[in-house]
Amino acid sequence: MVVDISKETFQEEVLSATQPVLVDFWGPSCQPCLALMPFVHELAGKYAEKLKIVKVDSSKNRRLCIDLKVMSLPSFLLYEAGQEVGRLAGKDVSASGITGFLESRLR
């Protein structure tokens, strides 16, 4: 299951999580973001035992995007133990790119 979060719930859902968390920064006018959305939901099922996946609507959480230096969409940030351990953005954001990114970082 993919959870929608905001600046108000980021601490609890991401930084305080006991398992790794993949944060999907997306926007309602970002066509690549919308195209990847079904794949992100598929990943949530595939990695349910290893990973929590959350989504942040950048249009409603601009301050959070600025604070985390998310400059382009779609962007995926991976957190472990409250720390960012990886980031995927720009040309690397594709279904295969996300899968490779996760496979190289999750044990």
- The catalytic residue positions are 30, 33
> Helix (H, G, I), strand (E, B), or coil: what is residue 90?
helix
The answer to whether the CB of 93 falls within 8 A of the CB of 30 is no
Number of H-type helices and E-type strands within the chain: 4, 5
Distance CA 98, CA 86 (A): 11
* ∠ CA 26-28-29, rounded to 5°: 105
